[in-house]
Amino acid sequence: MIDFHSHFLPNVDDGAKDSNISLEYMEKFYNLGFNKFLLSSHIYPNLYENTPKDLLERFNKFQSMVKTYFKDKIEIFPGSEVYLSQDTVENICTGKVLTINNKKTHVLFEVDFTFLPPNLDDLIKEISKSKLSLIWAHPERNSEIIREPEKLGRFIDQDVLVQINLGSLGGQFGEEIEETAKKLLSKDMVHFIGSDCHCSPRRQFVFKEAMDIFDKYVNPHYKEDILINNAMRIFEGQLLYPFPYKVKEKGLWNKFKKFFKI
Ligand SMILES: [Fe+2]
């Protein structure tokens, strides 16, 4: 399986503090069945100003440690998690952020937890004009998506792909986020899963339980795509379009029609 969001690259953000702790946590995930990891270090204005050059240099050093420790059992891929706002959109469009596996095709982004940027549609349009595709990291943690999970459909319609945190499914961030993650998954609005592991003992290790919940809520038809195939396509820089998702049933008449198969 592929972990499509992690902070295992040491000393670049609020993730792993050193390589030993990264290897220790990666082994825990390997024991759960994960053997490929996207190292998506934060890029956040005035806080984590990680450049592609610096991240790639550190990635190459860490990759040789991973090879020595795990032999060929584990593979890692470079990337970043970019905070998307009016201030960062230009950097994204002009190639100043590290794309997934440095393929210059896909960007993993996050937004603020407390609100959606009012011009999010414009930001998405601007980025897609520069031939980059977007993957939204853990939207289930955003308060507006929690309030109205169906809202995500508007962005999926613009070909934005979605990654949810396994920890959200396992209750790592509370009940509301857990319910939102389950809802998105059961509506086929999820295309990748990630640990978002920060190698911190402050976050409970709920991932075994989370995998059981994932199995319960995932559409079996898309399970292998979410766990493996979609991430592999992105690592290779290939195009990927969202699955058709289930829309909210509107009104009694639609329910009546569905019930009587009219
Ligand atoms: Fe993250």
Domain ranges of the chain: 77-259
Alpha carbon of 172 to ligand 1 centroid (Å): 14
pLDDT higher than 70, residue 214: yes
pLDDT higher than 90, residue 137: yes
CA distances from 5 to 104, 122, 220, 246 (A): 17, 25, 22, 25
pLDDT higher than 70, residue 249: no
Give the per-residue pLDDT at 262.
61
Q: What is the pLDDT of residues 43-65, one digit of tens each?
A: 999 999 999 999 999 999 999 99
* Alpha carbons 262 and 258: distance in angstroms, whole number: 6
Share of the chain above pLDDT 70, in %: 95
Alpha carbon of 178 to ligand 1 centroid (Å): 17
Q: What is the pLDDT of residues 96-114, one digit of tens each?
A: 999 999 999 999 999 999 9
* Alpha carbons 182 and 219: distance in angstroms, whole number: 11
Sheet holding 192-194, edge to edge: 2-3, 36-43, 75-83, 106-110, 133-137, 161-165, 192-194
Alpha carbon of 248 to ligand 1 centroid (Å): 29
Number of other CB atoms surrounding residue 68 within 10 Å: 9
Alpha carbon of 158 to ligand 1 centroid (Å): 23
Give the per-residue pLDDT at 248.
72
Given a contact cutoff of 8 angstroms between Cβ atoms, the answer to whether 38 and 194 are in contact is yes
Given a contact cutoff of 8 angstroms between Cβ atoms, the answer to whether 82 and 127 are in contact is no
Report yes or no on whether pTM surpasses 0.85: yes
Given a contact cutoff of 8 angstroms between Cβ atoms, the answer to whether 59 and 53 are in contact is no
Alpha carbon of 174 to ligand 1 centroid (Å): 17
Per the model's pLDDT, the better-predicted residue between 259 and 80 turns out to be 80
Alpha carbon of 196 to ligand 1 centroid (Å): 5
Alpha carbon of 14 to ligand 1 centroid (Å): 9
Residues 6+ apart with CB under 8 A from 90: none
Alpha carbon of 254 to ligand 1 centroid (Å): 39
Give the per-residue pLDDT at 202.
86
Alpha carbon of 41 to ligand 1 centroid (Å): 7
Q: What is the CATH number of domain 77-259?
A: 3.20.20.140
Alpha carbon of 39 to ligand 1 centroid (Å): 9
Alpha carbon of 202 to ligand 1 centroid (Å): 15
Give the per-residue pLDDT at 37.
98
Give the per-residue pLDDT at 261.
62
Alpha carbon of 92 to ligand 1 centroid (Å): 17
pLDDT higher than 70, residue 25: yes
Question: Phi then psi for 49, rounded to 5 degrees?
Answer: -90, 60
Alpha carbon of 107 to ligand 1 centroid (Å): 13
Q: What is the pLDDT of residues 148-207, one digit of tens each?
A: 999 999 999 999 999 999 999 999 999 999 999 999 999 999 999 999 999 998 888 999
Per the model's pLDDT, the better-predicted residue between 93 and 254 turns out to be 93
Give the per-residue pLDDT at 61.
98
